[in-house]
Amino acid sequence: MPTFEYAPAPESRAVVDLQPSYGLFIGGEFVDPVDGTSMKTVNPATEEVLSEVAVGGAADVDRAVKAARRAYERTWSRMPAAERGKYLFRIARILQERGRELAVLESLDNGKPIRESRDVDVPLAAAHFFYHAGWADKLAWAGLHGAALGPDGVPLPLGVAGQVIPWNFPLLMLAWKVAPALATGNTVVLKPAETTPLTALLFADICRQADLPPGVVNIVTGAGATGAALVGHPDVDKVAFTGSTAVGREIARTVAGSRKKLTLELGGKAANIVFDDAAIDETVEGIVDGIFFNQGHVCCAGSRLLVQETIAEEVVGRLQQRMSQLRVGDPLDKNTDVGAVNSAEQLQRITDLAAVGDAEGAQRWTAPCPLPENGFWFSPTLFTNVSPAHTIARDEIFGPVLSVMTFRTPSEAVTKANTTPYGLSAGIWTEKGSRILWMADRLRAGVVWANTFNRFDPTSPFGGYKESGYGREGGRHGLAAYVKEA
Amino acid sequence: MTATTPALTDRVRDVLGSTTLDDASLRRWLHGLPGVDEVGAHGRAAMLGTRSIKTTSKAWALDLAVSMVDLTTLEGADSFGTVRSLCAKARVPDADDPACPKVAAVCVYNDLVPVAVEALAGSGVKVAAVTTAFPSGRASLAVKLADTRDAVQAGADEIDMVIDRGAFLSGRYLKVFEEIVAVREVCDEAVALHGRRAHLKVILETGELSTYDNVRRASWLAMLAGGDFIKTSTGKVSPAATLPVTLVMLEAVRDWAALTGEIIGVKPAGGIRTAKDAIKHLVLVHETAGERWLDPDLFRFGASSLLNDLLLQRRRMRTGVYASPDRLTLAT
Amino acid sequence: MAARLDVRKTYKLYVGGKFPRSESGRSYEVTDAKGRFVANAAKASRKDARDAVLAARAAFAGWSGATAYNRGQVLYRVAEVMEGRHAQFAEEVARAEGLTAAKARAVVDAAIDRWVWYAGWTDKVAQVVGAANPVAGPYFNLSVPEPTGVVAVLAPQASSLLGLVSVVAPVVAGGSTCVVLASERRPLPAVVLGEVLATSDVPGGVVNLLTGVTAETAPWLASHEDVDALDLAGAAPLPGEDPTVDWGALEAAAAATLTRVVRPAGSGASGEADGAVEPDWTVLPDGPRRVLAFMETKTVWHPKGR
C-alpha cells in the first residue's frame, strides 16, 4: 500500500523579482549609502545568499531623518486627514494584490513556513493598514486622553518617528509601526532587522506604487549601529522598538532625559496554563500553536507550559504524539508546519540554552522530525522535569523549545505564571468560565488568551507589562503612542 | 440493564467504572469527557484542509476514496430500476478503466435490499440498509427492530441505524444506549442466517446535536453500545458531514482505541461532493486517527455525487486533460 | 498668668500605615518661606525608601484587588477627613509656601476638591478607556486598564499640598500603591496628609510618604527593581532655583528594569533634553491622564463557540 505522503508543494519563487543589491529608501528613491558598505542577506533554509543590502551609517540616518522632517513639514502634516487615510487604503490594497509575492519573499528571507506568511503575516499586515487608514480622519473621536489638540480639535502628531523592528515578523512588524504612525500624521524612518530586510524594501516599492509623497516613509537597512543612530538622532520625536529586552533597555537609556516619546515591545516568557477540565484536543493544538508557530520566534510564545498535575502525563503524551506529526522543512512548501531558524546566531542560542536545560537536569524530548541538511534547523523540543529555577524556565529561548512544569491549584498557577520579570502574554485552558475570569484578572500580562493562543488583530491592543515593555500597538490604544501630549 | 452479552456488561463496567448503568451514570461519564472548543476545532480542521498531497499519493488517495464510497440512494422515488443501475455503477464505476476499484457498498432503504443483494451478488460490494425508521427514528423499538430484522434477513451486510436524538438531547442516554444494543443484537442474528455478522453503523445525525460536545458524547455512547462504525448524518438534515464534525468523531475513535483496544470506523455522510472534499477528509483521517484508518473497513464516505467527481479526477490524472461528466455513467 | 508652653509636633515618615522615624535616625531642619525654623523633619534614607517599597508592594494585592467602587469610597473618605483638618493644612501650607491665610485656605480647598475629583475616577477609567475590540474572528476581545503596581512619586517641590495631592491621588485612584518623596523644603503638609491617610480608610502601605533630600533618595527608587513606575514631577526645582535632581539620569536608571516614567513638565521642544518646570497645579486636569499613566492595558481573548 502506498503511504499517504504530502507532496513537496513548493510555492513558486518566480513571483519574486529579487535584485542583486538594494540601496536605502530615502526621500522616495533608492540611494546608495554614504560610506558604501553592504551586507548579505541569506535564505536561512538553504544558506543561499539572496541579495546584498546597504548598511546605513549615521550620515544615512541623518539624511533619512531630514527627508522625513521635510515631508512632515511640507506635505504630510498639511494634507487633509482624509487624503492621508486614502494613501493608507491604497497601500493596504497593494499589500493584498502583491500578497503572494510578499509571502514568498518573507518565507525566503525569514525561513517561516509559507502557510504562515501567506495566511497570517501578509493578511494581518494589510489588515493593519486598512484599520488605521480609517482612523486618519477620525482621530478626534479616538478618545485620546491628554493629547495636544490642534485648532480643529484633532490630536496632533509628533513629527518624525524612528522605528526599529525585529526579524521574526518583518512585514507585520513594519505594518504595526508604519500604519499607526502615518494615520496619526507622522512621517517615519524605519530600520528593518539585519537578517530580514527584503520585505521592507519591497514595501518601499509599494509606497512608490501608491504615489506616497517622497520622504513620508524612509527605510534604512543595517544592523545594530544603524538602529542606535536612528534612536539617538536628535531630530526624531518618537521612538518605537520591537525586539529583545536587552536592546529595549539600551534604547530606554538612550532616550532618557529627552522629550522623545517611546514605546517598547520586548521579550516574554509566557505561561500557558492547562487545567484538567480543558478541551483537551484543542488545548494540545493551542500548546503546539503557542510554541511552534513561527519556529517559536515569537515574543509572546507560550514557552512555559504549566499543566495541572492531574493530567500532566496525559497532556505530555498527547503533545509528543502531536509534535511527532509536525512537518519541519522547506519554508516554501505549503505543507510545512515548522520552518528554518532565522539565523546561525539564533540557532546557536537555542542550541546553547537547550544544552543548559540538559545540564540543569531537565528531561529533553525531541520530535522525530527529519531535518534538511543545509540551513538552520532545530527540531521541536519539549523539556519535562523543569523547575521554575531552571534557566529554560526563566530565559527567553525564542525557538521551538517548550518547558513543561506542573501545578496543583489555580493560585499556584498564578504565582508560577507571574514569577518572571516579563509580562507580555499568558494562556489559560479550562472549560470553567469563572476560573478563566479569575485567572485573567490575576495574570500580570498584557495579553491573555483563554482557550486560544497567538491570536492577533489590528483592533486589539498588544503589548506588555513589566520588562516586556510599554505602550500598546493596535486598537484605539495604539494611536496614543503617536500623538503629542498636551 | 438490558445488555445481554456478558462481554458488553463487562465492558460497560470497565469503561464507566460503575456497576450501575442508568441515565445518571451515563451522564456522569459522558459529561466527564473533555469538552470540544468549537473555534479551536474549526481552526484545526481548516488548517488540515490546506494540506496538499503528492501526485502519486493523490492517485492512490482517489482510488482509496472510491473504494470507501457507500454509494447511496435514499429517495422515496427509488425503484428496482434505479437501484439496479446504482449497483451496476458500484461494480464498475468507470467502464473505460478496468483498474478503477469498486465502491465499498451500496446503501439503500430496507425494502430494496433484496434487489441490491441480487444485483451485487459475487461482486464483493456490500449492501448497506438504513433502518430503525430512518431518517427520523421516530418509531417504537419494536418497529425499529423489525425494520432492522427485515434488512438482516434479506441479506444486508451492513445496517445503518439512527439514534434517538430526542432522547439524547433530553438526557435519556440509557434509552439511546439500549436501542443501539438491541439493534446490535439483531445484527448478530445474521451469523445464524448468513454465517457472518451484519456490521452496525450508528448514525448520530450531528446536524441535530448542535454542539461538538454532544457529537463527542454521542460518539462515545455509540461505541460503548457496540457500534462498529459511527456515522455523521442521514443526509436528510443540514449541516451533514463537515470537516470539524469528522475531526471530532475521529478523535473519539482514536481515544476509544487507546482506551479499549477496539478499532471503530467512521463514516461522514452527506455533503461531501467533490474529490477535493474527500481528500481533505482523508488528510484528517491520516493526521487524527492515523494511517490504520485509511482503510474501507474503517472509513467510508456516504455519498452519491461524490463518486462521479472522484472518477473525473481519476480520468484527468490518467489522461492529462479535463474530463467531461458526459463520458461517465449516471449513478441511477 | 504665664503663657502655656505649647506641645510641639514631631514630623515623622509615614510607611506601611505607621509613623516611623528614619531608620537612620537623621533629621533635617525645615524652615518657613522666610527661612525661620519650623520643625525637624525625618530625613529618609535609602533603607527607608526600601522599606517603603516593601510596604507598597505588600499593599498592592489588596488595593488593586478591591473593587473600583470601594476604592472610590475610600478616597472620598480621605477628602472628608482632609476637610476636618482644613485649618491645620492651611496653616502648614501658609508657612511652607509663604501664602496669606486666605490664599492658603484656597489652596487647601483646591487640594480637597482635587482629591474628590480623582476619587470619582476610580470606577470610570475602565469604561472610558476600556474597549470591546471588534476582531476579525469568532472571539470575545476586551481591553481593560489595570494598575501598574508600585509607583515612586517625586512630589512637586513648590506646591506642597495641591501639587502633592495632584500626583498621589491619580496613582491610588487607578489602584497602584506608591512611595512618595515629599517636597524637600516644604515637607510638612505631606506629613499632615499622612496623618489624614492613617485616620481614614486607606489601607496601610497604599501611600507611603517620605521626607528628606530628593536627590539623595530618588536614585534608589528609580533603580529599584520592584518599582514599576516613576513620576518625576518633583524633579522641577523651586521657581528661580537651579535643579538639584537630574531627571534624565533618573529616567536612565529606571530603564534598567523598563520602569515606566512620567517625565516632568518642560518647556523644550520635543526630541531635546531640557529642564523641568513645575506646572500650575491650580489648573484642573484635562482628563484622567495621570490615572492612566499608572495603568496597563490588558487584553483578553476568548473564542465564541457552542
Cβ atoms of residues A40 and A108 within 8 Å: no
The three-class DSSP label of residue A339 is: coil
CA of C295 to nearest chain B CA: how many angstroms apart?
32
For the question of residue B231 being annotated catalytic, the response is yes
Please judge whether B57 and A279 are an interchain contact, meaning their C-beta atoms are less than 8 angstroms apart. no
Q: Is the dihedral of CA B27, B28, B33, B35 positive or negative?
A: positive
Q: What is the pLDDT of residues B291-310, one digit of tens each?
A: 999 999 999 999 999 999 99
Q: What is the pLDDT of residues C148-158, one digit of tens each?
A: 999 999 999 99
Q: What are phi and psi for residue C126, nearest 5 degrees?
A: -65, -35
In this predicted structure, the answer to whether residue B245 has a pLDDT above a threshold of 90 is yes
Residues of C in contact with A68 (CB under 8 A): none
Q: Which secondary-structure segment (H or E) carries A427?
A: strand A425-429
A431's grid cell: 472549560
Show the CA angle centred on residue C32, arms to residues C27 and C34, nearest 5°: 130
- Chain A neighbours (≥3 Cβ pairs under 8 A) are B, C
In chain A, residues 155-194 whose CB comes closer than 8 Å to chain C: 158-159
Please judge whether C139 and B211 are an interchain contact, meaning their C-beta atoms are less than 8 angstroms apart. no
In this predicted structure, the answer to whether residue B4 has a pLDDT above a threshold of 80 is no
CA atoms of A143 and A149, how far apart (whole Å): 12
- Helix intervals (H) in A362-470: 391-394, 410-418, 433-442
Q: Do domains A13-266+466-482 and A271-450 have the same CATH topology?
A: no
Q: Which residue of A has its CA nearest to C301?
A: A449
pLDDT at A280: 97
The three-class DSSP label of residue A56 is: coil
Show the CA angle centred on residue C91, arms to residues C87 and C97, nearest 5°: 140
Q: Indicate which residue of A11, A116, A194, A265 is catalytic.
A: A265
Preceding peptide of C156 cis, ω within 30°: no
For the question of residue A299 being annotated catalytic, the response is yes
Q: What is the pLDDT of residues A339-371, one digit of tens each?
A: 999 999 999 999 999 999 999 999 999 999 899
**Domain boundary assignment for chain A:** 13-266+466-482, 271-450
pLDDT at C6: 86
Q: Hunting for cell 521554575 — which residue is that? A: A388
How many other C-beta atoms lie within 10 A of the C-beta of residue B292?
14
Cβ atoms of residues A219 and A24 within 8 Å: yes
Show the CA angle centred on residue B302, arms to residues B300 and B304, nearest 5°: 130
Assembly ipTM: 0.96
Cβ atoms of residues B55 and B316 within 8 Å: no
Nearest to C297 among A446, A455, A484 (CB): A446
pLDDT tens track, chain A, 486 positions: 446 777 777 778 888 889 999 999 999 999 999 987 999 999 999 999 999 999 999 999 999 999 999 999 999 999 999 999 999 999 999 999 999 999 999 999 999 999 999 999 999 999 999 999 999 999 999 999 889 999 999 999 999 999 999 999 999 999 999 999 999 999 999 999 999 999 999 999 999 999 999 999 999 999 999 999 999 999 999 999 999 999 999 999 999 999 999 999 999 999 999 999 999 999 999 999 999 999 999 999 999 999 999 999 999 999 999 999 999 999 999 999 999 999 999 999 999 999 999 999 999 999 998 999 999 999 999 999 999 999 999 999 999 999 999 999 999 999 999 999 999 999 999 999 999 999 999 999 999 999 999 999 999 999 999 999 999 999 999 999 999 998
pLDDT at B327: 81
Residues of C in contact with A270 (CB under 8 A): none
pLDDT mean across residues, chain B: 94
CA A333 to chain centre: 22
Cβ atoms of residues C37 and C95 within 8 Å: no
In chain A, residues 271-290 whose CB comes closer than 8 Å to chain B: 277-283, 285-286
Dihedral angle computed from the Cα positions of residues A182, A252, C262 and C196, in that order, rounded to the nearest 10 degrees: 150
CA of A311 to nearest chain B CA: how many angstroms apart?
12
Please judge whether A285 and B291 are an interchain contact, meaning their C-beta atoms are less than 8 angstroms apart. no
In chain A, residues 238-267 whose CB comes closer than 8 Å to chain C: 245, 248-250, 252-253, 256-261, 264, 266
Nearest to A289 by CA among C133, C136, B39: B39
A350's grid cell: 537555542
CA of A147 to nearest chain C CA: how many angstroms apart?
9
Instruction: Please report how the helices A198-209 and A99-110 are oriented relative to each other, as an axis angle in degrees rounded to 10.
Output: 160
Listing DSSP states for C235-272 in one string gives GSPSTTS--SS-HHHHHHHHGGGT-EEEPPPB-SPTTS
- Mean pLDDT, rounded, for B161-183: 97
Residues of C in contact with A445 (CB under 8 A): 298
Contacts of A240 (CB under 8 A, 6+ apart): A161, A162, A163, A164, A177, A181, A262, A263, A264, A471, A481
pLDDT at A452: 98
Residues of B in contact with C304 (CB under 8 A): 39
Q: CB-based contact (8 Å) between B35 and chain C? A: no
Preceding peptide of B239 cis, ω within 30°: yes
Q: CB-based contact (8 Å) between C136 and chain B? A: no
**Cβ burial C39-68 (10 Å sphere, 16+ → b, else e):** bebbbbbbebbbbbbbbbbebbeebbebeb
Q: Indicate which residue of B89, B102, B201, B231 is catalytic.
A: B231
Q: Which secondary-structure segment (H or E) carries B286?
A: helix B275-288
Cβ atoms of residues C182 and C209 within 8 Å: yes
pLDDT at C274: 74
pLDDT at A3: 61
Nearest to B34 among A5, A6, A279 (CB): A279
Band of residue B12 on the pLDDT scale cut at 50, 70, 90: confident
In this predicted structure, the answer to whether residue C271 has a pLDDT above a threshold of 50 is no
pLDDT mean across residues, chain A: 96
- Chain C neighbours (≥3 Cβ pairs under 8 A) are A, B
pLDDT at C268: 61
Per cent of chain B over pLDDT 90 is: 85
Listing DSSP states for A61-104 in one string gives HHHHHHHHHHHIIIIITTS-HHHHHHHHHHHHHHHHHTHHHHHH
In this predicted structure, the answer to whether residue C257 has a pLDDT above a threshold of 60 is yes
Please judge whether C298 and A236 are an interchain contact, meaning their C-beta atoms are less than 8 angstroms apart. no
pLDDT at B8: 78
In this predicted structure, the answer to whether residue B14 has a pLDDT above a threshold of 90 is no
CA of B214 to nearest chain C CA: how many angstroms apart?
10
**Domain A13-266+466-482 - what CATH class?**
alpha beta
Residues of C in contact with A472 (CB under 8 A): 297
Cβ atoms of residues B117 and B156 within 8 Å: yes
| pTM for the model | 0.94
Band of residue B11 on the pLDDT scale cut at 50, 70, 90: confident
Can you list the domains of chain B with their CATH numbers?
Answer: 6-327 (3.20.20.70)
CATH of the structural domain A271-450, one choice from 2.60.15.10, 3.40.309.10, 3.60.10.10, 3.30.1280.10 = 3.40.309.10
pLDDT at B10: 81
Q: CB-based contact (8 Å) between A7 and chain B? A: yes
Q: Indicate which residue of A299, A300, A467, A473 is catalytic.
A: A299
DSSP A271: E
CA atoms of A440 and C256, how far apart (whole Å): 28
DSSP-derived pairing of the beta strands B199-203 and B229-231: parallel
Contacts of A8 (CB under 8 A, 6+ apart): A330, A333, A335, B54
Show the CA angle centred on residue A213, arms to residues A210 and A218, nearest 5°: 95
Can you list the domains of chain C with their CATH numbers?
Answer: 38-268+276-303 (3.40.605.10)
Q: What is the pLDDT of residues C42-91, one digit of tens each?
A: 999 999 999 999 999 999 999 999 999 999 999 999 999 999 999 999 99
Contacts of A373 (CB under 8 A, 6+ apart): none
- Mean pLDDT, rounded, for C178-192: 98
- Helix intervals (H) in chain C: 46-65, 68-84, 86-97, 101-119, 125-129, 162-173, 188-199, 214-223, 247-254, 289-292
Band of residue C269 on the pLDDT scale cut at 50, 70, 90: low
Residues of C in contact with B248 (CB under 8 A): none
CA atoms of B186 and A277, how far apart (whole Å): 38
Q: CB-based contact (8 Å) between A394 and chain C? A: no
C253's grid cell: 536608571
Give burial (CB, 10 Å; 0-12/13-18/19+) of C267: exposed
Q: Indicate which residue of B267, B277, B280, B309 is catalytic.
A: B267
Q: What is the pLDDT of residues B108-154, one digit of tens each?
A: 999 999 999 999 999 999 999 999 999 999 999 999 999 999 999 99
Please judge whether C292 and A145 are an interchain contact, meaning their C-beta atoms are less than 8 angstroms apart. yes
In this predicted structure, the answer to whether residue C126 has a pLDDT above a threshold of 70 is yes
C39 beta partners = C30
Nearest to C107 by CA among C61, C146, C161: C161
CA atoms of A468 and A465, how far apart (whole Å): 6
Q: CB-based contact (8 Å) between B325 and chain A? A: no
pLDDT at B1: 42
Site from A120, A281, A332 to mutate, B interface, most B CB atoms within 10 angstroms: A281
Nearest to A253 among C128, C252, C299 (CB): C252
